[in-house]
Amino acid sequence: MDDCLIRTKRLTLRPLTAADGDQVVDLLNDYEVARWLTVVPHPYTLADFNGFLTHLADTSRLGGLAIERNNRVSGVVGLDPTLGYWLGRAHQGRGVMIEATTALLEWAFANLEIDQVSSGYFRDNIASRTVLTTLGFRHTGVIEQVHCTSQDIDVELIKVELSRADWQSRR
């Protein structure tokens, strides 16, 4: 994961580090962000963040990339090969997530031997559905019941996927 650095016009995607902890904790302590994520507790602590970093080190090359804008962490995007992402509320509605996920997918399809990327969104998460639809993801027909830690309830997760061929045909 340390070798992945992706730059766009406004953003830098880079591996999360321990130095990002305070910024990430601050962003994820906004319930309106945490409520749309499956495994993020609320409140979110530095210990939770450090546990996430340990998990990344053990399991994933691209699982946690900081979305950096104006030298500040705005959110996180990852691909392992499921695409996951979140963005701090102050950064939403500005095209940041479309820019970040487009750059990551472009990099992944160019540099990794993957033919398909999967993702999903909570049924009521219109913003996430919009991001995935804009990127070209298609519904798989699968709806899973998953536990949302911050809300302590089970929610419907709509599963979607994007093939390399579909991605390339949209470029």
Q: Give mean pLDDT, residues 18-44.
A: 98
With pLDDT > 70 as the criterion, what percentage of the chain qualifies? 97
Instruction: Provide the edge-to-edge strand list for the sheet that holds 6-7.
Output: 6-7, 12-15, 65-69, 72-79, 83-87
Please give the distance of CA 115 from its chain centroid, rounded to a whole number: 19
pLDDT band at 61 (very low <50, low <70, confident <90, very high): low
CATH of domain 6-170: 3.40.630.30
Name the band, by pLDDT with cuts 50, 70 and 90, for residue 26.
Answer: very high
Rounded to whole angstroms, how far apart are CA atoms 80 and 17?
18
pLDDT confidence band for 167 (50 / 70 / 90): very high
Q: Is the pLDDT of residue 56 over 90?
A: no
d(CA 100, CA 96): 6
pLDDT at 154 over 70: yes
| pLDDT, averaged across the chain | 95
Task: Name the more confident of 61 and 89.
Answer: 89
Q: What percent of the chain has pLDDT over 90?
A: 90
